[in-house]
Amino acid sequence: MSTPRLADVLDNADVIHERAALEAAIEGMADAIRDDYADDARPPLFVTIMHGGMPFAARLAFALGERGLDVEFDYLHATRYRGNTSGSGLAWLHRPATSMEGRRVLLVDDILDEGHTLKAVTRWCEDQDAADVRVAVLAVKVHDRCVDGVCADYVGVEVPDRYVFGYGMDFHEQGRNLPAIYALAD
């Protein structure tokens, strides 16, 4: 089976959030995060969830730096999708090398859909004796299928219960670098 081409769906996709709206949302998130971490003696551990979280995490990190909040970087790669449009079991491809013991951890991801990945990742950070684990996501999908107890502490925008891509989110591993969020046509 061949992989669908992004170009074949992009013309009919709906723009859900333009770049300017996303960047304004990220600026607002940076203000809230700075306020929550400003009094800490040690910079929080800023953990990007790859690959989808990378574009959002980069922009958020710069916005935090512009506000005077230093962060220590690491990343993890855990996925349920592996290029597909529906999830399966969680696969850990890389775990952070930085010790989380006693640290405040900020997990940064592109989207909170149902929350299976974020639940597993958050639990793993807690098992590593992180003092506090918070979650920042660019987008939250609006539906009623979320895993109990999974929520984001910082949210940029909401997206409809459709297949979305762009600004880190992929369409069959394509389109992550699009500067807006799109949804496949109904």
- Catalytic positions are 113
Q: What is the CA angle 153-155-159, rounded to 5? A: 140
* Helix then strand then coil, % of the chain, to nearest 5: 25, 30, 45
Supply φ then ψ for residue 81, to 5 degrees: -100, -45
CA dihedral 175, 176, 179, 185 (to 10 degrees): 50
